[in-house]
Amino acid sequence: MFAKQVLVAAAFLATLSSAAPATGSASEDSTALNIVVPEGLKILEQYETTSGGTVVWFGDENPANATATADEVDAEDAHALNRRCGSNRVKCFSDHQTFMPTCETMTLDTSVLLRDTPIPTSPRSICYYERGATCCVSWADNVSGAVYRHLIPASNAVRTQCATRWASGKSYDTLIGRTCTTQCLSDRPDGCNNN
């Protein structure tokens, strides 16, 4: 009988200790991400990757005000569009530079871009945060018929043609799904345009 009372008391105390609030808070955690959400965008999804980074999908805060889809074609015209669009003509910039090794990890990690998951219409960018560096892939227009993997060719074109460890760039005439647009690689989720 005494043994049962000791077990019940021990179980009760264990319940109390597990219910006690933890000391500290997320704001005191030095490893917590500081994600700045630009005006006009919102976070659609955030998750941890298999390589230890964090992925954040950004979309238009008000999709009704979003830029219309540019040069959308049906599946029959996709082959002709691929010949006309998809050159990934690159221009490098010195502002909003990103750490290119982080971008390389982003394109090789199967939990980030190396997948055939469809990209919904609303997202405007995806950012990968790893060890204090940020790499963002963004695009100028809404896309259709696109999967994550379609973001890799232009990302790699910018990475190889802006061949420094810190760089940013745009890939013009980029085919993402069935949409011909401009794709950017930088340290920010916004600011990508066709200029």
pLDDT digits (tens, 9 = 90+) for 28-79: 333 468 899 999 999 999 999 988 899 999 998 887 655 544 445 555 555 5
Tell me the sheet residues that pair with 139: 183
Question: The pTM is what?
Answer: 0.75
Q: Residue 26 contacts by C-beta under 8 Å, 6 or more apart in sequence?
A: 32
187: left (phi over 0), alpha (psi -120 to 50) or beta: alpha
Tell me, what's the pLDDT at 18? 33
Q: What is the pLDDT of residues 101-138, one digit of tens each?
A: 999 999 888 888 888 989 877 788 999 999 999 999 99
Instruction: Give yes or no for a contact between 138 and 96, defined as CB atoms under 8 angstroms apart.
Output: no
